[in-house]
Amino acid sequence: MRTAMMAAALGLLMVGSTAQAAPILYSFSGQISGTLNGQAFTLSDYILSLATDTDTVFQPRPDFRPSLYNSGPATLSFTINGVSGTFATQFNAFSVTLGSGSGQRSLVGFTEAEQFGNDLIDVRDPGLLGYDLKTGISSATNLPIDFLNFGTAFETSAGTLIFANDDEASARFSASLSAVPEPASWAMMVLGFGILGGALRQRTKVRVRIA
């Protein structure tokens, strides 16, 4: 009976752990121009990646624009022209639907996680209408860049990064969900297995009574 109860407790722990929010990686990639640490690059390959968790997603102004979603602040990583680094300030991923009816358009991008932070890049695509940042989506190719913050100096671990005004810059956006349990989930599972193992050891003990 005790073993069954312990197994049930383990099951609840496992279910609880799988109910945790999932890690998610938002990425932009394509080609872009600019300077990094004083070195110019022209239509070079780039990747911008922001790793966070779906439970950090919130609506900053649901009373004003319920279709606006932000992720929690996180470190933005990049690889540009073969050089990798991280931005000095943290960023949010955001998604918003603008307009109404046939005039609706969606924007997805990265913005600095501070009161007067700069947007880094925004793209639009009809397939992103109403995207809540909590689900994975496949990479969409050649998304129109709605806004690229060219001329603004962003400090990074690899030097100052400045994007140039380039009409030929391209973007792809994707969001990948990870099935790997979070550290808290691993801890709960290990604890559950420990409880079950202890119960089984108690059950297999043999009591010897001396007459």
**Backbone dihedral region for residue 11 (phi beyond 0: left; psi -120 to 50: alpha; all else: beta):** alpha
How much is the pLDDT for 142?
72
The predicted-structure confidence for 133-155, as pLDDT tens digits, reads as follows 999 998 777 788 888 899 999 99
Q: Which residue has the higher pLDDT, 22 or 140?
A: 22
The predicted-structure confidence for 88-106, as pLDDT tens digits, reads as follows 999 999 999 988 887 888 9
Most confident of 24-38, 55-69, 89-103: 24-38
How much is the pLDDT for 21?
81
Q: Which residue has the higher pLDDT, 137 or 9?
A: 137
pTM of the entire predicted model: 0.75
Asked if residue 180 has pLDDT above 80, the reply is no
Mean pLDDT, rounded, for 58-62: 91
Asked if residue 79 has pLDDT above 60, the reply is yes
Mean pLDDT, rounded, for 9-21: 48
User: For residue 177, what are the contacts with CB-CB under 8 A and spacing of at least 6?
Assistant: 22, 23, 24, 54, 135, 136
The answer to whether residues 41 and 34 touch, using CB atoms and an 8 Å cutoff, is yes
Task: Give percent of the chain with pLDDT exceeding 70.
Answer: 75
What separation in angstroms does the CA of 209 have from each of 44, 117, 201, 206?
Answer: 80, 76, 19, 10
In the Cβ-directed half-sphere of 180, how many Cα atoms lie within 13 Å? Answer: 7
How much is the pLDDT for 179?
62
The answer to whether residues 80 and 161 touch, using CB atoms and an 8 Å cutoff, is yes
